[in-house]
Structure 1
């Protein structure tokens, strides 16, 4: 007759190595995540009480460029032309994206204007 070894009681798998791996992944993702300061672009609320003074300053934002008061303008020249149209950096500048413009593109232009010192930006449809 055949003799087999003793019947062993089946052990349950240990969860300790899996918990260690999950902990290491958690630490990895926490350390590699970008913890940056959020920046905000100041915009005027619709229907604000500020009165519009001076020449028109309408910046139309498209996916491929910008236009100032209806004339296509290179993005590099936009700041110089707006400085000529404003008396102070607090003068209102109106931004209007077209239907195909992404929000990121609009924010990039608004950020460009904010970095140039313009503080009063309004977005219209």
Structure 2
């Protein structure tokens, strides 16, 4: 059994993109995270040390998004998923990167990429 921890709508300001003006001016990126994990140990102990500290995770993700610019949201999403998987309790991570200000010459609501990554040592 896998439980899910969700963090939705995390707003970050980054300088990612393939165009010079994106790198120079930056833009808002919005992230949604879903972590697959077993929450029974934390529920039984009622101790923060037995679960993922989502406050610390949010700080680390925000820092990862707001530094080291990359060209593609695929690269950014992979970076964030890898970060989420550094906690051994996380079995898999689903990361959605929204780029609502993407440089598209059309009216649109959002551009978003969702990836799912699992621990390499996790069984299918």
Pair in the same fold by TM > 0.5: no
Q: TM-score range by the shorter chain?
A: under 0.3
TM-score for both structures, normalised by structure 1: 0.26
TM-score for both structures, normalised by structure 2: 0.26
More strand by share: 2
